[in-house]
């Protein structure tokens, strides 16, 4: 389901570099498997795949069905790991444009899934509230800590708005939070909101396969069971040291980090994978960026960004590595028509699929960037579907854990994110 091709990057290393690192990679891997590394109390994201809770998946599906029947809009409030995973999977797999509409009633067959609570823009929220007027709205407030300002403040503004419009408001608010702690949990029990638990041993950026991600994803109509079991399968496959693409990816990143490279670009050729890039950025940025270490994770969408950042990537400072995230097969290729003339000079492409052109663009980019001095590698997903995507999500989580251990950091904490909060609260006179 996932293949990692790193052969082009090897020309930037010495022949024995990878082999020489192997024992350290395996030691880092053992720290993950045997729970002996720093932060090993936060490995719940693996446990939940090793012992799948089918009843929970069914429960989430049932709630999602109710919401799909009742809501025009399902509004998810959350920030960081409390929204990026859901947004990524929905962008990758749900209908790209408006949800399909019932031809008789004109009503959408599924609610629109929208996101808020991931910034502090009043302009955005005002426009959102105006858009929600006269719509049937369900809200999912997602915060593990239950204290995150962006999310909780948005909910504070939304709560009276909902109360003024919906007599059954308690039914329309679903809270996803820590099962035992936090203001949001307390508020949910006082107000009678439905609750889903974020396991305490699963950090936000590792939580996409908990109710944090699964409920919004199910509401969007994606098959969460297949997504989840795609990850289960990958978790099983990556248990071994041998034939393990996540270890190869972690090793390669580490070797370039050690050689002074500063940045990793995750490059996609499908607009649908934009969100996976954003999710990956948090996963790697928060897991590795500490103690003055880590590759800065950045994302580019090709071919769009080949016409903007492409110049820098080709000829700018040589401090980056590039990882392509590619989809091998498209279910229904789009054929380029024969227009009967050559007015646009593109007749030579008639009859080919747009996917073929896109893959040639990838291949051309891979060659050009290698020639330009960029170590490139490619992660292949065989197709864009729930199973392979679940496998891909797990692949990255497994890889970042090993990669963090190789760097000598705790991949499961994020002490640095508190600094801006402290300064902001000081200015707001909370402390």
Ligand X SMILES: O=P(O)(O)OC[C@H]1O[C@](O)(CO)[C@@H](O)[C@@H]1O
Q: Which residues bind ligand X (CB under 6 A)?
A: 79-82, 143-145, 148, 151, 204-205, 286, 414, 417
Query: Would the CA dihedral through 297, 301, 303, 309 be positive or negative?
Result: negative
User: Which residue has its beta carbon closest to ligand X?
Assistant: 204
Shortest distance in whole angstroms from residue 282 CB to ligand X: 7
Which residue, 286 or 322, is less far from ligand X as judged by CB? 286
CA distance 398 to 43: 10
Burial of 365 (0-12, 13-18, 19+ CB in 10 A): buried
Which residue, 148 or 378, is less far from ligand X as judged by CB? 148
Shortest distance in whole angstroms from residue 197 CB to ligand X: 13
Over its C-alpha atoms, the chain yields an Rg (Å, rounded) of: 23
Report yes or no: 278 and 88 within 8 Å, Cβ to Cβ. yes
Shortest distance in whole angstroms from residue 135 CB to ligand X: 26
Is 421 tagged catalytic? yes
CA distance 99 to 109: 7
Secondary structure of residue 114 in the 3-state scheme: strand
For strand 263-268 and strand 296-301, is the pairing parallel, antiparallel, or unpaired? Answer: parallel
Shortest distance in whole angstroms from residue 204 CB to ligand X: 2
Which residue, 47 or 418, is less far from ligand X as judged by CB? 418
Which residue, 143 or 365, is less far from ligand X as judged by CB? 143
Which residue, 82 or 365, is less far from ligand X as judged by CB? 82
The catalytically annotated residue of 286, 288, 290, 322 is 286
CA distance 157 to 202: 28
Shortest distance in whole angstroms from residue 417 CB to ligand X: 4
Smallest CA-to-CA distance from 202 within 407, 64, 423, 397 is with: 397
For strand 320-329 and strand 263-268, is the pairing parallel, antiparallel, or unpaired? Answer: parallel
Q: What are the residue numbers of the active site?
A: 286, 421
């Amino acid at each position: 389901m996932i293949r990692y091709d790193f052969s082009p990057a090897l020309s930037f290393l010495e022949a024995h570099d990878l082999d020489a690192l192997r024992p350290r990679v395996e030691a880092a891997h053992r720290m993950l498997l045997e729970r002996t590394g720093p932060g090993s109390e936060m490995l719940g994201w693996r446990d939940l795949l090793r012992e799948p809770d089918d009843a929970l998946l069914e429960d989430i599906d049932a709630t999602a069905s109710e919401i799909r029947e009742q809501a025009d809009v399902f509004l998810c409030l959350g920030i960081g790991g409390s929204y990026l995973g859901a947004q990524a999977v929905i962008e990758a797999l749900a209908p790209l444009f408006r949800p399909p509409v019932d031809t008789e009633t004109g009503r959408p067959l599924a609610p629109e899934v929208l996101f808020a609570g991931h910034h502090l823009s009043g302009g955005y929220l005002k426009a959102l509230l105006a858009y929600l007027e006269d719509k049937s709205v369900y809200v999912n407030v997602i915060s593990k800590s239950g204290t995150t300002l962006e999310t909780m403040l948005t909910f504070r503004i939304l709560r009276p708005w909902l109360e003024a419009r919906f007599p059954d408001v308690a039914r329309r608010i679903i809270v996803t939070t820590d099962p035992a702690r936090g203001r949001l949990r307390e508020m949910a029990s006082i107000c009678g909101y439905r609750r889903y638990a974020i396991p305490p041993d699963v950090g936000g950026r590792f939580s996409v396969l908990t109710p944090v991600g699964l409920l919004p994803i199910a509401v969007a109509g994606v098959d969460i069971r297949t997504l989840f079991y795609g990850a289960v399968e990958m978790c099983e496959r990556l248990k071994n040291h041998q034939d393990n693409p996540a270890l190869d990816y972690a090793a390669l990143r580490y070797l370039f980090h050690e050689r002074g490279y500063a940045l990793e670009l995750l490059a996609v050729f499908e607009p649908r994978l934009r969100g996976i890039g954003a999710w990956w950025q948090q996963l790697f940025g928060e897991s590795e960026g500490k103690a003055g270490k880590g590759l800065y994770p950045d994302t580019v969408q090709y071919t769009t960004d080949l016409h903007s950042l492409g110049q820098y990537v080709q000829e700018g400072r040589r401090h980056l590595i590039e990882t392509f995230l590619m989809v091998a097969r498209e279910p229904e290729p789009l054929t380029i028509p024969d227009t009967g003339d050559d007015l646009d000079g593109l007749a030579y492409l008639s009859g080919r699929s747009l996917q073929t052109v896109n893959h040639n663009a990838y291949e051309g980019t891979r060659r050009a960037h290698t020639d330009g001095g960029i170590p490139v590698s490619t992660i292949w997903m065989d197709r864009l579907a729930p199973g392979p995507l679940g496998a891909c999500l797990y692949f990255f989580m497994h890889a970042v854990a090993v990669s963090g251990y190789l760097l000598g950091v705790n991949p499961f904490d994020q002490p640095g994110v508190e600094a801006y909060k402290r300064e902001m609260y000081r200015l707001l006179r909370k402390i």
